[in-house]
Amino acid sequence: VFTSQKWFHVDNKVLLNGFIGKEGRQLQFNAGLGNRFDRFTSQQVITTSQVYAPTGYVSFYHTTPDRNSIVSNYLTGELKKEALQPGAWEYKAATQFYFTGQYAGNFVLQASLGKELQKAQGSFIAGVKQALNSAPYSYTNYENAYTRNFYSFNTESVSRFYASVDSRKWLLSGGVNSYLVNNYIYINESRMPAQYTVPFSLSQAWVRKVFRAGHFYLDNELIYQQVPGSAPVNIPALMGRNQFSYEGNMFKNALKVAVGVQVRYNSSYAPAGYDAQLNRFYYQSKRTVANTPEGAEFANMRIKRFRGFIMADNLQQLFATNAIL
């Protein structure tokens, strides 16, 4: 028995674009209607009959297509002001709301605010995003020659708050991400679609600092993530990346090079499992990976219009292997 699935997607929009306000302080906007068409086709090979032959019974097969089409209409709009002058504020607001079809009631609402920082020679940005989503079709419908299962889930809600600051003067940047998730839809340890109905939060903080001495650079990045307790989410608590490189010109500026080494690390955690039969990942908590820091060497060269890149990755496999606990 063999079942293949295909997904066909078309998205059409009719938008009105324009500007509001005086030159240099104008607002850019667009608004309109959209139409989304999705078609899911399953091609099944099913045994129809068996005929006796000298070598034994021979099976005959035929294929039957199963098509499902989903048509949804939505409203969309965006309002944006760019920072055209040093020190000016910029902001953006956008939304997309489905009002017909299977996805009726789903929406995405986002807004952000930013500013160029003159003294620090950098920028600051903060924003929020709220999304309400129905379960994917592949999570609610499963079919093969022997069984056909349907699953029903409540809409999933994801709220995000983020903020970041970047200073080109100090070669320093950092930020925070915070998510609040309700009715989380996922693939459970039994490799079946499921829903976690307890709201949970996931927070992330990161910082990046580059040290420079002449043509030598030491680029460091560290990320800390709050592990969300008993929620079925696989993430490491700590991740890091360190890169040491030489970047400069050689042979009277004819050759530009960037060569160096990079090391990546993350703390031990239970990674997602992979279902090769259904070609998707699932949540699992029985195996934990203790990660050996990953090493890589790279060389990037440019001579006029020619550019070459060489990289040797996962060098740690020459002397160590990751432990599965």
Over residues 203-223, the mean pLDDT reads 95
Within 10 A of 157 (CB to CB), how many other CB atoms are there? 15
Lowest mean pLDDT among 50-59, 65-74, 210-219: 50-59
Looking at residue 210, its pLDDT comes to: 95
Q: Alpha-carbon distance 173 to 309, whole Å?
A: 27
Whether 93 and 110 have beta carbons less than 8 Å apart is answered as: yes
Looking at residue 65, its pLDDT comes to: 64
Over residues 104-116, the mean pLDDT reads 94
Reported as a single tens digit per residue, the pLDDT across 56-80 is 666 655 556 667 788 899 999 999 9
Q: Alpha-carbon distance 140 to 84, whole Å?
A: 47
3-state helix, strand, coil in the chain (%, to 5): 0, 70, 30
Q: Alpha-carbon distance 196 to 135, whole Å?
A: 13
DSSP string, 99-162: EESTTTT-EEEEEEEEEEETTTTEEEEEEEEEEEEPPPHHHHEEE-SS-EEE---PPEEEEEEE
